[in-house]
Structure 1
Amino acid sequence: MVIQDSAPSAVPAGVGAATAEIEVYDFGRSATLSREHARALELAFETFSRQWAAELSAKIRVRATVAVENVTMQTYGEYAQSLPTTTTLVVCAFPDSAERMIVQFPSSAATSWIVQMVGGRPTGSTEERTFTPIEQALIGSLMTDAIALLTAAMDGLLPHGIVTAGIQYSSQFAQVAAASEPVIIAQFSMRLGGRTVPTSIMLPASVLVGFADRTSEVDRSATPGLVRRQLELSPVELSLRLASRSVMPREVLGLSVGDVLPLPHAADRPLLLAVGDQQVATAAVGSAGARLACVVTTTVPDPISEESA
C-alpha cells in the first residue's frame, strides 16, 4: 500500500517536479538474477553472439551481426507470451536430463538462410511457415554448430552433448517447461542482408548451479599459503618516524611559528620504520645519491613466523 500526501508541494516555476518511480515486487516470482550472475551470463552471451555471427556469415555467404539486447530471468509462461504466435522454436535436449533449451528466431529469417546456403537470392518475404524435411535438416545443421559455440562460450555452465530434439512453430503450444518454472532468457538482435530480426535463447535456471560449483572450488583452493603470497605481493606504504609524544589539545592550538616542541627521541636512537601502525624495523638516516634514504639497523621478528617455528 502506498500512502501519498494530499498537500500540494511547492514547485518553483519552470522547474519540473520529479516523479517518484515505484517498483512493484512480484511475490509470485521472487527469483531473479544477481548482479554477478547477470554480468557473467552477459559476457558469455556476447562471446557467443560474435562467434555465431561469424559462423552464420561463413555458412550463408552474407555478412551477419548479432548483438545481445538483455539477459533476464522470467517464468516460462512469461517468455512464451512474449513470443510471436507463429515462430521457429528449436528445442534442444540436455543429456541424461528432462530439461530443455530453446533457440528461437522468425521462420522467415530461417527461410532466407536456407535460400542463401544453397546459392539462391532471398526474396525478402516475411511469411511465417513450417519447414520442409530438407529445410529442417539444413536448420538442424546450423543449430548443431550454434549449440557447440554456446556450450563453449558458457565455459562449463552447459553440459556437453546437447542435441536438437525437434522444431516447434507455435509458442503457445510448445510446452517445454511448466508455466511457473523460472528460466533464463537472452534476447538478441540479428542484422542480416539489411534486415534486423529478434532472436532469443531460453536456458533452464539450473545452469546457475554451475556458479555455486565454481565458488566452492575457489574456496577450497584459497589455502593460507595462497592468501599469504597474495598479501606479500600487495603494495604497502612505509614511513620513517620519530617516537611519538602525547600532547594536550591546548598545546596544539597554541602552536605558532618558531615554537620548539621536544620529542622523546634521543639523538643517537634509530628511527622507527613502520607499515601503517605496525613497526617492522629500525633505521638510521642515510642517503642514496641525491635522495634522502634510510639504513635498516634492526628488524622486528614476524610473530607468524615465530608461531610456525
Structure 2
Amino acid sequence: MTRPDTATAPAGPGPQAPAGGGRSRRGAPRTYDFRRPTKLSREHVRVLQIAQEAFARQATTVLTTMLRTGARMELHGIEQHSYDDFLATLPDPCFLTTFTIEPLGGKGLLAYPLDMAMAGVDHMLGGSGAAHQPERPMTAMETTITTSLLTRLLQEFAASFAHVTELQPAIDGIEYNPALAQAAAGSDTVMVARYTMSIGSREGAASLVLPFSSFQQALDSAASPQLSESAQRTRQRAAELLAARLELVPVDVSVRFSPLEVSSEDLLSLTVGDVLLLRHPRDAPLEVTTNDAVFAHAIASNHRRRLAAAIVPAPSAVKDPA
C-alpha cells in the first residue's frame, strides 16, 4: 500500500495540476508497511535534523583536514526503516563500520561506498585518490589508517548529539558485506540519515544508522517543551513520594556462614547423620545478605527467647591494636 511522502524524507516537486482543476499531489507515493507504523514524530525529526546537520558540517571539516583534499558531507534526509529493509538498499561490497553508543544500548552503523574508503586511504598516504580503487577488503595497514579517520568522525558525531544525549561511541567492527554487519536485529526500527558524500572527484551516498529504541527517551526529552514551575514541583513531589515508598519495600534478608565447596560425588553421597564441616572460623562473623549481596556482618545472639543476629563491624573494618 502507498501513502504520500512525509516530512521524514525530502519530497521532490509534484506534478502539475490537471486542467480540470483536480488537486495536485504533494510528492511521489512511497511504500508504507502498516505492521510497522511510523515511530519518528515531526519533533523527533526536527531534533535529529539539527544534530545530523551539525555532524555533516563537522565531518566535512574532518575529511578535508585529514585527507588534504576537497571533501563534503551534506544531509539529504532522515528516514525510518526496519534494519533488514535498510540493508537491502546497500550495494555489495560496501564499507560499513559498526560502533557502540555507550552509555546507551545497541549499536550504530556508518556506511559509504568502498571505493571512497579506499580513495581516503590513498589521500592519507599522499596519493591523488583519482586512480581506480580495488573492490576488496582492506589490508591491516589500510584498516589502521582508516580507523584513525573513523575515530575522528565518531568524536564529531558525539559532539553533534551532545544536546540530545551524552554519547561515548567506539568502533566495534568493519565489514564489507551488508549481510554481515549485525548492528541490530532484522525487525528492529532504525533511524537512517542519508548523506551525499564527496571526496575529491568522487561522490556517493553515505548513511548513518541509529537504533530508535536506544534514542527514543532522549529524543522525547529533547523534543518536549520546558516544564512549567508547577509541573516541575509536581514531578519533584512524585519523585520524593517514590523514594519514600522505596524505603518501605520489604526485602528478604539472610544470615549465612561462609560458602562451602564440595564435590558432586560428596554431595550426592550425603545421608542422614553425616557431618558436613562448614570450615567457618569460630571467631569470624556471619554474612548478612540480600539477593546474594553481602551488605553487613553479624554474630549469633538471642532476643526474647528467639534466635537473633547482632550486627558487628565488617572484618576489614577492624584494625589491629598498635
Query: Structure 1-normalised TM-score?
Result: 0.62
- In structure 1, give the amino acid aligned to 2:141: I
Call closer, same or farther: CA 1:151–1:22 in 2, change over 3 Å. closer
Call closer, same or farther: CA 1:141–1:34 in 2, change over 3 Å. same
Aligned length: 214
Kindly indicate whether the alpha-carbon contact (under 8 Å) linking 2:96 and 2:176 is maintained by their aligned counterparts in 1.
yes
Residue 154 of structure 1: aligned partner: 161
Residue 114 in structure 1 maps to residue 121 in structure 2: yes
Deviations along 1:166-197, one digit per CA (max 9) or x if unpaired, are 10110123222111100000010012212211
The partner residue of 1:102 within 100, 109, 114 is 109
Residue 219 of structure 2: aligned partner: 211
**Identical pairs, percent:** 26
Residue 45 in structure 1 maps to residue 71 in structure 2: no
The partner residue of 1:223 within 229, 236, 255 is 229
Kindly indicate whether the alpha-carbon contact (under 8 Å) linking 2:129 and 2:200 is maintained by their aligned counterparts in 1.
no
Deviation at 1:50, TM superposition (A): 0.8
- In structure 2, give the amino acid aligned to 1:210: A
Residue 175 of structure 1: aligned partner: 182
Tell me the distance in 2 between the aligned counterparts of 1:34 and 1:144. Answer: 31
Kindly indicate whether the alpha-carbon contact (under 8 Å) linking 1:50 and 1:66 is maintained by their aligned counterparts in 2.
yes
Tell me the distance in 2 between the aligned counterparts of 1:225 and 1:183. Answer: 32
Deviation at 1:37, TM superposition (A): 0.9
Tell me the distance in 2 between the aligned counterparts of 1:50 and 1:152. Answer: 12
Call closer, same or farther: CA 1:49–1:25 in 2, change over 3 Å. closer
Tell me the distance in 1 between the aligned counterparts of 2:71 and 2:44. Answer: 28
Deviations along 1:192-243, one digit per CA (max 9) or x if unpaired, are 2122111111001121210233467832xx21599xxxxxxxxxxxxxxxxx
Tell me the distance in 1 between the aligned counterparts of 2:219 and 2:205. Answer: 28
RMSD: 2.9
Residue 85 of structure 2: aligned partner: 78
Kindly indicate whether the alpha-carbon contact (under 8 Å) linking 1:88 and 1:169 is maintained by their aligned counterparts in 2.
yes
Kindly indicate whether the alpha-carbon contact (under 8 Å) linking 2:92 and 2:177 is maintained by their aligned counterparts in 1.
yes
> Highest CA radius of gyration, 1 or 2?
1
